[in-house]
Chain A
């Protein structure tokens, strides 16, 4: 297994380099990173020249990329293009804030999806089944940004009507909260719900499908034939195997979740990866964007690896080779 993990890690390094290289070349080719700075009359020619020298902007692209890669590996992604601010402190803080959001949302999504999926599969073609199916179809069709805005609308309307603040609609925390944990939950709730619902819609479909498949398999029939109570059959025999595909789906979904984070965090002003991305994009801050992409690409690769390893660990029919 360790050999497998090592080999996969080594294979993903060239993938990472090619992917970042493509993005780097693409961005450098179509944009002048200093264009925004040039528009400000107070910025002198020397300042511009200093930036060009320090970032090697006059060199060929491949050399620029080499210097960028060096700074990324040895120097925590170096400094930003325009303000010479260090990138890693901001990035790691954003990563931590996003991790809180994503972990809570995904944990809730998976547990809800398991419950919904199992119930829907147990009562196939029942009213409950049709209802969850319809809701998850709607879940696929509701744009996440609109859903987030509707949540804000409800929360604000409720606050205006009753003067009771349950949820905050933006930010990470209040300036000086009496109960820090409660305050954080109040801030987190809405962005978590916004992130959660698409995942629940998707995961519960998978869960229902795999549960149905397992429930119709021979060994479950055997378990029933042995006279085991239905509860044991469902929870002990069927559920365990039905969970395996869900593990893969959730791990592979991380890229889409990070995409959703970009929208959710922008709307709820949550100072995480998504907001950092949009802010850097608006400022044309190439090096922060590159660092962002590198980090998220690594996250995606790691999650893909985790998915494969877990799959092999959980399903004895799969072998590493």
Chain B
């Protein structure tokens, strides 16, 4: 994630105010004012292009008026704008809070869990959720504390989802970016490769892959999932690159003599960041569901690592006698996936520059 985000806009929308912070970059003109403009840390930190933005007379006059009236313009950075728009999406905000709580619980599982996740306690087996002995979610067939197991299971599942989203985003952005920017034969070839993945049922290929290569540790499962998840991102990134490539600001940069890498990292990528971030969020949601299904079928995370899908698979024999074994991890999966989807929805709105802050 880029560390600093820059840009400004006026709270009282005064049209055509040139942006003081960006005078060095004529490509980011008025239409870009509300756009997502990242000061990409990935990009080369070269000096701004030599073209200076002519200070328009309008803005000088405006400044004079404001000085005279004692008015002040409240500048908002791009992040502040995005945050403000995101905060308007109530459901997304609530989801984000829920998500943060769950992530923190998973990260601090060592501290929070009252028992070790593999601590067998046969006298206390198959107990329903109770406050007694802090078995908040009961115990399983071997008397292991289910609350602790779920905390560690959450950690596993979230770790897998993190790997999948990061790795597949990187692969997808590189492949999609090359295809969209270069076009022509390379584009054709890369997109045919993506098509190959679409002919075969996703889950079937995933199951075969993990059955023969990659079951076991969470990291491994994460990478296996990423091998299949990048195609969707590649398509999205390709589409965005394809359309941005033809935009005037890219043309202007090219005319000013910018190199390909400068155009890609400095001009196109920052503008493609919105769709990429949204797609990345949605990958997290589906990675959690797919990993759970994989572990449930026995081809994902292997013991001793507890994963949510595996917990459900282990509990399904006692579906009727011990309802909590299947129900509780399932509810966690639903809540996480739902929350991530809502956050993604909120981000889509917040990162969309055409949506106006109310």
Contacts and interface: CB of A to CB of B under 8 A. Distances in A.
Interface in B296-331: 296-297, 299, 309, 312, 316, 319-320, 323, 326-327, 330
B133 interface: no
A146 B204 contact: no
B208 A146 contact: no
A246 interface: no
B289 A143 contact: yes
Nearest to A14: B192
B319 A149 contact: yes
A163 to B, nearest CB: 15
B112 to A, nearest CB: 24
B5 interface: no
B108 interface: no
A141 to B, nearest CB: 4
Nearest to A266: B297
Given A156-B319, A277-B207, A258 B337 contact: no
Interface stretch (B117-125, B193-201, B230-238, B273-281): B193-201
Contacts of A146: 292, 312, 326, 330, 333-334
A140 B282 CA distance: 11
A88 interface: no
Does more than half of chain B's interface fall in helix, strand or loop, or is it mixed? helix
A228 interface: no
A196 B207 CA distance: 22
B320 A156 contact: yes
A256 B338 CA distance: 20
Given A145-B296, A153-B319, A277-B207, A256 B202 contact: yes
A301 B207 CA distance: 21
A149 B309 CA distance: 12
A259 B195 contact: no
A27 B344 CA distance: 36
A160 B212 contact: no
Interface residues of A, number: 44
A281 B211 CA distance: 7
Contacts of B65: none
A153 B289 CA distance: 20
Where chain A touches its partner, the secondary structure class is: helix
A306 to B, nearest CB: 15
A124 B7 CA distance: 36
A300 B196 CA distance: 12
Contacts, number: 123
Given A138-B334, A145-B293, A153 B200 contact: no
Interface string A25-63: 011001100000000000000000000000000000000
A23 B207 contact: no
Interface stretch (A66-74, A183-191, A290-298): A290-298
Contact of B205 (A16, A23, A138): A23
Contact of A150 (B205, B285, B330): B330
Contacts of A199: none
B330 A141 contact: no
B196 to A, nearest CB: 5
Interface of B: 195-196, 198-205, 207-209, 211-213, 285, 289, 292-293, 296-297, 299, 309, 312, 316, 319-320, 323, 326-327, 330, 333-334, 337-338, 341-342
7 contacts: A26-B212, A141-B341, A143-B293, A145-B292, A255-B198, A259-B201, A297-B199
Given A146-B326, A263-B297, 13 more contacts: A15-B196, A27-B212, A141-B285, A145-B297, A149-B312, A150-B326, A160-B320, A255-B198, A262-B203, A262-B207, A289-B208, A296-B200, A300-B198
Question: 8 tightest A-B contacts by CB?
Answer: A259-B203, A141-B337, A146-B330, A141-B338, A258-B201, A30-B212, A255-B201, A31-B212
Interface of A: 15-16, 18-19, 22-23, 26-27, 30-31, 137-138, 140-146, 149-150, 152-153, 156-157, 160, 255-256, 258-260, 262-263, 266, 277-278, 281, 289, 292-293, 296-297, 300-301
